[in-house]
Structure 1
């Protein structure tokens, strides 16, 4: 596949993004940690709070990365941006306004997958990227599409609700699109995105509607 940009241009976008939005990356990581805390607390408002964080992350991806930066080297980014914003709005509608989702840690295989993906997105992904020669400011920091998609799928592995398929659609699509960077742009940490995509497809096929039954879910 012939890309409309070079590797240098691709990582140059990361450099420009990171230098421009700093220190927002720290705030976004703190939001991710806060989402994990809310899941662990499992209060009546936790589902809406976690959904609000996911909604904010996906709107950020669409506006602050795709439209503001990636569109400079790839016109398809306008479509990616619209898709990401739509994904954020779906989280806001189903999770915040309608409060259809619950999140919890339990002793299930699904939770194990979710925790593994969360750890990969927040710890392994940046370390692997740095060791692979793409340290900061070329680092795909949290808040950019690939690590954030892995994190999102990890969170959704801890979720239950009647409309989970609706919010899984965009992360699944991005796992397919973004995962190609592992081969086309030699971004090896994005191999994790392909694994996350497989997990997301499984969640789409077998969503948990009742969290009480999640301990026996596949």
Structure 2
């Protein structure tokens, strides 16, 4: 009881910051990552390619791979000037959203490309045979058919971002990661460290359960 009186308000506040740093970048990364992933997929040259464009596909592919290969903590520091330009600061929740979003976009794009690649090629061929245009194939065939996979992928993205917020906390972003570092590591308060771990585990379980439920409902509605 004394622990909650002392740290309850702090943990509640920082949990709120962690959720903001998780879900805002997740939403933005999907708004950008889905079109990017679709573009990589449809321009990839091959027998079933919708709009083959090797130079564009190769450029996007390399760009995604390069961005994904940079460890988040390195990216966080490397783009500080850009973060300050966009957000006006590189610390706090506002400053963390920019690098978190940039880190998530290529991850989402690659996941979208993978989800689309798993679809039965016969579905696209059937749509083509019926006279569907490229945009109709994308919006009425590819995206609806891959929606359950995209939803499950969003759970992975969101949980990864939750982990990234802990790293962002080491450079002044706040959140549960910051609490764990300040109290659990620097002050050797194991009870606070344990509390942050428990909260993070609970958040991960809730996020996974919600997205799994949504994906199952979408699957059944087909």
TM-score by length of structure 1 reads: 0.29
Q: Which has the higher contact order (CA 8 A, sep 6+)?
A: 2
Which one has a larger percent helix, Structure 1 or Structure 2?
2
| TM-score, normalising length: structure 2 | 0.29
